[in-house]
Amino acid sequence: MIEPEPPPRYPLSWVLFLVLLAGALVWVSTTVAQLPARVATHFDAAGNPNGFMTRSDYLLFMLPFSVGLPSLVVGLMSAVFRRGSRFNLPHRDYWLAPERLAHTRAFLVAHAVWFGSILTAFLCFVHALVIDANRTQPAHLDNDQALRGLAAVLAALGIWMAVLVLRFRRPRA
């Protein structure tokens, strides 16, 4: 009997994710002091503030949001992908066959970690937007910068989706 090949490991995705989480924790914690006591945190379509928080409330919100949310998403997705075998994948009979299931699971976990990295980077970008918006008096969000960041995250998610689709394309005969 031939031993099945062990599933690949994707340490780069985990290293990047953990570095981004640590960086987000340090960066948000250390840059919040640059904000005024009353922080503009929500803006209308014209970039004018219409929601505020105290600096300490903003920190209590932004740290769990920028570090905790990506960690929760990656943790849940990883738990499902490590144990599941009923994924809705194209050509699922092929990709979820017993001889390929471990490889499919490993790829899906690594792909979830890449998603967490994109999410962490985007939330740090949002924090940077808040810092920049509060540097002006009165506070004002630079909509062009916000749109460029949104375009960048959408492009990254498009690439993320394309990799997923290409990975599970029709198997070669």
- The end-to-end CA distance of the chain, in Å, is 24
**With 0-12 CB in 10 A as exposed, 13-18 as middle and 19+ as buried, what is 144?**
exposed
What are 16-30's pLDDT values in tens digits?
Answer: 999 999 999 999 999
118, 163 Cβ separation under 8 angstroms: no
Residue type, 64: P
What are 55-72's pLDDT values in tens digits?
Answer: 999 999 999 999 999 999
Please state the pTM of the whole predicted model: 0.90
121, 19 Cβ separation under 8 angstroms: no
Backbone angles phi, psi at 38, to 5 degrees: -110, 110
